Amino acid sequence: MNRIGIIGAMEEEVAILKEKMTEVSVLERAGMEFFSGRLSGHEVVVVRSGIGKVNAGICTQILADKFEVEAVINTGIAGSLKAEINIGDIVLSTDTMQHDVDAREFGYAIGQIPRMDTLTFPADEGLRSLAVRVCREVNPDIQVFEGRVASGDQFVADHGTKEKIIQNTEGFCTEMEGAAIGQAAYLNKLPYLVIRAISDKADDSAHMDYPTFEKEAIRHSVRLVEGMMKAL
């Protein structure tokens, strides 16, 4: 792959990667700073998208149009939707789905965007298999899971909401950007992968767990992205 786009929603999720880049140039678009350069010998564009699906979708489209990236990796944190996925563990997207889209009145399933030909947005199997192997090497003390990432413009912090998302999506984790990146990648025919380190359990304990474990989770996901760049 000649050029890879790497997206993080928050500055903390991309700052370490930016520090390790060389031959850097910066371009601002839509209030986002796109850092072009090299990381572990590969041409990359690293960017903080901002939080939420709209920011993430805009960011991915700019990467496709302006920078002509050949793949997109989204690194970040999420809330677990499965009891066996613990804080600090990694989820790699098999696909992504928007849990807060509801057009059932028109005969669509929850999560399906009207007049789109797919309910979910499949992630790239090659990137995911590479990530599984690398994650076990660079993060040997945690578990790595492969499953659906459920996205919505909502920080999930109560048990009732969590259970509805599980029922509607069969997701492995929930966050606020992945499916928008997946949708934009799908429309642009770009391979993509969402990497999520678990920061909380997406339930009534989330308000306490998130600030406590956010930095640890970010370290795991950033270490994985850097490892992938070295292994490509």
- pLDDT of residue 210 exceeding 80, the answer is no
Distance between CA atoms of residues 128 and 131, nearest Å: 5
Percent of the chain exceeding pLDDT 70 equals 98
DSSP 8-state class, residue 124: P
The token duo for 45 is 């564009």
> What pLDDT band is residue 128 in, cutting at 50, 70 and 90?
very high
Residue with tokens 């901002």: 50
- Mean pLDDT for all residues in the chain: 94
At residue 112, the 3 state secondary structure works out as: coil
DSSP 8-state class, residue 113: P
CATH value at residue 166: 3.40.50.1580
pLDDT per residue as tens digits for the range 16-30: 999 999 999 999 999
The token duo for 69 is 């990236």
Which residues are catalytically annotated? 13, 200
pLDDT at 213: 78
> What pLDDT band is residue 214 in, cutting at 50, 70 and 90?
confident
- pLDDT of residue 207 exceeding 90, the answer is no
Residue with tokens 């849990």: 99
For residue 220, which of 120, 86, 21 has the smallest C-alpha distance?
86
How far, in Å, are 18, 163, 165 from residue 105 at the CA level?
45, 22, 19
Residue type, 192: Y
At residue 143, the 3 state secondary structure works out as: coil
How many structural domains are present in the chain?
1
- pLDDT of residue 211 exceeding 90, the answer is no
Q: What sign for the dihedral angle of Cα 211, 215, 217, 218?
A: positive
pLDDT at 206: 66
pLDDT at 209: 73
Let me know: does 80 contact 173? Beta carbons within 8 Å: yes
Let me know: does 209 contact 77? Beta carbons within 8 Å: no
> What pLDDT band is residue 100 in, cutting at 50, 70 and 90?
very high
pLDDT at 217: 83
Mean pLDDT, to the nearest integer, of 163-187? 97
Q: What is the pTM of this model?
A: 0.95
pLDDT at 136: 96
**Domain residues for 52?**
4-231
pLDDT per residue as tens digits for the range 183-205: 999 999 999 999 999 988 878 77
- pLDDT of residue 129 exceeding 80, the answer is yes
Which range has the worst mean pLDDT, 80-89, 108-117, 198-207?
Answer: 198-207
> What pLDDT band is residue 48 in, cutting at 50, 70 and 90?
very high
Mean pLDDT, to the nearest integer, of 138-158? 95
How far, in Å, are 8, 121, 132, 178, 232 from residue 199 at the CA level?
15, 24, 19, 16, 27
The token duo for 91 is 């989820």
- pLDDT of residue 182 exceeding 90, the answer is yes
Percent of the chain exceeding pLDDT 90 equals 84
Residue with tokens 């677990």: 80
